[in-house]
């Protein structure tokens, strides 16, 4: 589990297709504290560490399945790309965002970008089948960042990015047309499932 609070911006060192996609990611994390098999959220996708190293600075490697690539925005990864990183939640850690599983539901497209003072308002288009899980003042994880939804209109929704968020994540690089990883709020998912079950039981 994660919280959607990005704790490092990694950088893709290399990409290699070897059955699965092998990505090597440079990080400021203490490599000595990363075990093989550890989970790290990379742009919101929970990936398993398969190798680590300290040559030319710290790095870790992950394997990404074709299924994951097809359902996320990780196909855009290329050497030099910046990546939002978060270590897995540990017992006793502060829950600064909301509960995030790292299991991406789909991608959302940035269709609006407007600067408002020092902040930036972004408008996204979500896949139709996920729109019902997104509610005003609810939470979403976008590229691994816990954000509050400002408004919803059909499959479109908006969020506001303060300068701090843009400086400590990759959101400062956001551009119109970008597709980002979307994970809906777990609570919204369970509420929808409960209503579906009750409707079926009542029928």
pLDDT digits over 45-90, tens only? 999 999 999 988 899 999 999 999 999 999 999 999 999 999 998 7
pLDDT bin (cut points 50, 70, 90) of residue 94 is low
- What's the average model confidence in pLDDT over 84-108? 84
Question: Percent of the chain having pLDDT more than 70?
Answer: 91
Q: Does the structure show a pLDDT above 60 at 186?
A: yes
Least confident of 97-106, 117-126, 156-165: 97-106
pLDDT in tens, 23-43: 999 999 999 999 999 999 999
Task: Between 179 and 187, name the one with better pLDDT.
Answer: 179
Residues with Cβ within 8 Å of 144's Cβ and at least 6 positions away in sequence, in order, are 2, 4, 6, 41, 42, 43, 44, 45, 84, 85, 86, 100, 102, 181
Q: Does the structure show a pLDDT above 70 at 138?
A: yes
Q: How far apart are CA 147 and CA 149, in angstroms?
A: 7
Q: What is the pLDDT of residue 139?
A: 92
Q: Does the structure show a pLDDT above 60 at 202?
A: no
Taken in order of first residue, the domains within the chain and their CATH numbers are: 8-87 (2.40.30.20), 106-194 (2.40.30.20)
Q: Does the structure show a pLDDT above 60 at 5?
A: yes
What does the mean pLDDT of the chain come to? 91
Q: How far apart are CA 4 and CA 141, in angstroms?
A: 6
């Amino acid at each position: 589990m994660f919280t959607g609070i990005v704790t490092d911006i990694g950088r893709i060192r290399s990409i290699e297709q070897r059955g699965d996609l092998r990505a090597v990611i440079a990080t400021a994390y203490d490599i000595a504290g990363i075990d093989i098999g550890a989970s790290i959220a990379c742009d919101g996708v929970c990936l398993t560490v398969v190798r680590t190293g300290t040559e030319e600075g710290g790095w870790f490697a992950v394997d990404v399945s074709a299924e994951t690539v097809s359902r996320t925005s990780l196909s855009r990864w290329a050497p030099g790309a910046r990546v939002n990183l978060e270590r897995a939640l540990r017992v006793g850690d502060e829950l600064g965002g909301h509960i995030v599983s790292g299991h991406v539901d789909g991608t959302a497209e940035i269709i609006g970008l407007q600067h408002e003072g020092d902040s930036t308002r972004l408008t996204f288009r979500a896949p139709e089948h996920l729109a019902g899980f997104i509610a005003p003042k609810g939470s979403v994880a976008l590229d691994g960042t816990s954000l509050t939804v400002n408004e919803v209109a059909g499959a479109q929704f908006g969020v506001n990015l303060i300068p701090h968020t843009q400086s400590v994540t990759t959101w400062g690089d956001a551009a119109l047309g970008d597709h980002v990883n979307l994970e809906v709020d777990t609570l919204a998912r369970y509420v929808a499932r409960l209503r579906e079950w009750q409707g079926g039981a009542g029928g």
